[in-house]
Amino acid sequence: MEEQLKDCRKTMYRKKIIEILKMFEVPATVDDILSIFVYSKEHISQSTIYRNLEILTNKGIVNKSIAINGHKTTYELNKPVKRHFITCIKCNKIKPVIDATSLNIKDSIVEKSGFTIIGYKFEIYGYCQDCHKNIDINSTNNLF
- The predicted-structure confidence for 29-48, as pLDDT tens digits, reads as follows 999 999 999 999 999 999 99
Fold adopted by 81-144: Dna Ligase; domain 1 (3.30.1490)
pLDDT of residue 139: 57
Residue ranges of the chain that CATH labels 1.10.10.10 = 1-79
Q: How far apart are CA 49 and CA 10, in angstroms?
A: 14
CATH 1.10.1040.10 fits 1-79, yes or no: no
Task: Say if residues 86 and 125 touch (Cβ distance below 8 Å).
Answer: yes
Q: How many C-beta neighbours within 10 Å does residue 120 have? A: 9
Residue ranges of the chain that CATH labels 3.30.1490.190 = 81-144
88 CB contacts (<8 Å, ≥6 apart)? 94, 125, 126, 127, 128, 131
Q: How far apart are CA 63 and CA 78, in angstroms?
A: 6
Of 47 and 118, the one with more pLDDT = 47
pLDDT of 52 > 80? The answer is yes
pLDDT of residue 49: 97
Global pTM value: 0.67
Beta 123-126 vs 94-96: how paired, if at all? unpaired
Q: How far apart are CA 122 and CA 22, in angstroms?
A: 21
Name the nearest CA neighbour of 32 among 50, 20, 41: 20
The three-class DSSP label of residue 45 is coil
- φ, ψ at 52 (rounded to 5°): -70, -40
pLDDT of 142 > 60? The answer is no
pLDDT of 95 > 80? The answer is yes
**Interval 104-132 mean pLDDT:** 81
pLDDT of 85 > 70? The answer is yes
pLDDT of residue 35: 96
